[in-house]
């Protein structure tokens, strides 16, 4: 099926390029410009052409949409792009577009390789059924596994588990964005998202790297117990190791320092291939502050384009593992009841979702007014 999709992608690029060249003159501010075909081809190759995995992501959003126009809002696109996909996919007998805007998938086999999005309710139901437990939104995610094995959170690795509701949300976003049931990388996984993801969709293959052997053993045992497609390996991200295969995407929740974020993100990015990919980064404000500007430079230099920045969804429940945790608890308890503090979030984090461009676009120079949409 992947070979079929690769051929479909190649056909789409030809279809899209031809329409870009012929349709450009119809767009606002472009009609009166004299742009030759060579320049139009360069514009397409550098600004419009997308990698294979991004094509699959767009295909996914269309085939699983309730209405085709959802694609415009979901992907921050326009109706011209939507028409291109619909026309091409109908021509290739992949879909049938109904008059009410709904899509009928004709090539059903595609569903076997492109993950279907799931609601948080569906994800909770799957976890609870498999683990025979109840999701408690405000408790640490590690607690859902306590009936099977004990895991000790370690201060030296800066481990701090996110809440169960945060983990459910993360899995929802991964399934929403994952373009293919290929191999997905976890650059560190002390939140055990690889296990939750594999329980919810057993066909997804995960690869977890970490420096904590106990954590990897914990994941290995759960994978064996529940027959999950998860492999693990002890890796130091600072060693710049190549894992020997290309992944379709990765998730990392690194140390919240500028250096830590760069090391973890660079390692994950280097494991993506020429088909592109998707990257998920959990990032708390922590010690970063205005250094986020430096991180934005880093993302740009590494061909990582921010597609989404989600706030107010990921947080860490109260925990005391460092000396500073005890100190801030003492200070807060002079103003707020200790029971309230222990039931409240300790740290919030943002979720960044990036698309990775395998090759850097070149600036195409030609004279045009600023209002010409090309």
Q: Tens digit of pLDDT for each residue in 232-246? A: 999 998 887 888 888
Of 352 and 317, which is predicted with more confidence? 352
* pLDDT at position 150 over 80: no
**Whole-number pLDDT of residue 152:** 75
Which residues touch 237 (CB under 8 Å, ≥6 apart)?
Answer: 187, 188, 209, 263, 264, 267
**Whole-number pLDDT of residue 319:** 82
pTM: 0.93
* DSSP helix/strand/coil, 301: helix
Separation of alpha carbons 371 and 373, rounded Å: 6
Q: Tens digit of pLDDT for each residue in 113-149? A: 999 999 999 999 999 999 999 999 999 998 999 888 7
Q: Tens digit of pLDDT for each residue in 170-227? A: 999 999 999 998 899 999 999 999 999 999 999 999 999 999 999 999 999 999 999 9
At 255, the pLDDT band (50, 70, 90 cuts) reads confident
Domain spans, the chain: 2-112, 120-356
**Whole-number pLDDT of residue 164:** 94
Q: What angle do CA 151, 233, 348 make, to 5 degrees?
A: 50
Mean pLDDT in residue range 341-365: 91
Separation of alpha carbons 235 and 254, rounded Å: 14
**Whole-number pLDDT of residue 155:** 59
**Whole-number pLDDT of residue 157:** 60
**Whole-number pLDDT of residue 86:** 96
**Whole-number pLDDT of residue 114:** 93
> What Å distances lie between residue 342 and 134, 244, 336, CA to CA?
20, 44, 10
**Whole-number pLDDT of residue 47:** 92
Mean pLDDT in residue range 332-347: 90
Q: Tens digit of pLDDT for each residue in 42-82? A: 989 999 999 999 999 999 999 999 999 999 998 888 899 99
Alpha carbon 133 to chain centroid distance?
27
* pLDDT at position 158 over 80: no
Q: Tens digit of pLDDT for each residue in 263-305? A: 999 999 999 999 999 999 999 876 788 899 999 999 999 999 9
Instruction: Say which CATH class 120-356 falls into.
Output: alpha beta
**Whole-number pLDDT of residue 373:** 74
């Amino acid at each position: 099926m992947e070979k079929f999709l690769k051929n479909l992608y190649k056909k789409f690029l030809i279809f899209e390029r031809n329409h870009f060249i012929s349709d450009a003159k119809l767009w606002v501010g472009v009609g009166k410009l004299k742009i030759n075909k060579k320049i139009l081809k360069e514009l397409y190759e550098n600004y419009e052409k997308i990698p294979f995995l991004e094509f699959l992501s767009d295909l996914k959003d269309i085939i699983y949409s309730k209405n085709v126009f959802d694609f415009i809002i979901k992907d921050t696109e326009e109706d011209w792009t939507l028409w291109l996909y619909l026309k091409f996919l109908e021509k290739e007998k992949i879909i049938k577009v109904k008059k009410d805007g709904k899509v009928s998938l004709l090539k059903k086999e595609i569903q076997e390789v492109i993950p279907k999005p799931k609601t948080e309710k569906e994800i909770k139901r799957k976890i609870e059924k498999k683990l025979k437990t109840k999701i408690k939104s405000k408790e640490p995610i590690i607690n859902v596994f306590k009936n099977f094995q004990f895991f000790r959170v370690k201060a030296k690795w800066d481990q701090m588990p996110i809440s169960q509701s945060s983990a459910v949300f993360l899995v929802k976003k991964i399934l929403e964005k994952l373009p293919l049931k290929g191999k997905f990388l976890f650059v560190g996984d002390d939140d055990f998202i690889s296990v939750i993801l594999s329980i919810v969709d057993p066909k997804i293959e995960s690869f977890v790297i970490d420096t904590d052997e106990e954590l990897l053993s914990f994941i290995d045992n759960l994978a064996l117990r529940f027959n999950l497609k998860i492999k693990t390996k002890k890796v130091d991200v600072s060693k710049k190791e190549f894992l020997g295969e290309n992944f379709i995407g990765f998730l990392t929740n690194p140390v919240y320092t500028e250096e830590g974020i760069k090391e973890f993100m660079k390692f994950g990015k280097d494991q993506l291939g020429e088909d592109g990919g998707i990257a998920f980064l959990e990032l708390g404000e922590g010690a970063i502050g205005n250094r986020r500007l430096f991180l934005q430079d880093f993302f740009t230099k590494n061909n990582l384009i921010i597609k989404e920045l989600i706030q107010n969804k990921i947080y860490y429940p109260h925990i005391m593992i460092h000396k500073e945790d005890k100190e801030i608890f003492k200070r807060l308890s002079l103003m707020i009841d200790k029971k309230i503090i222990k039931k409240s979030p300790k740290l919030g984090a943002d979720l960044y979702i990036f698309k990775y461009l395998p090759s850097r676009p070149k600036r195409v120079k030609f004279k045009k007014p600023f209002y010409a949409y090309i």
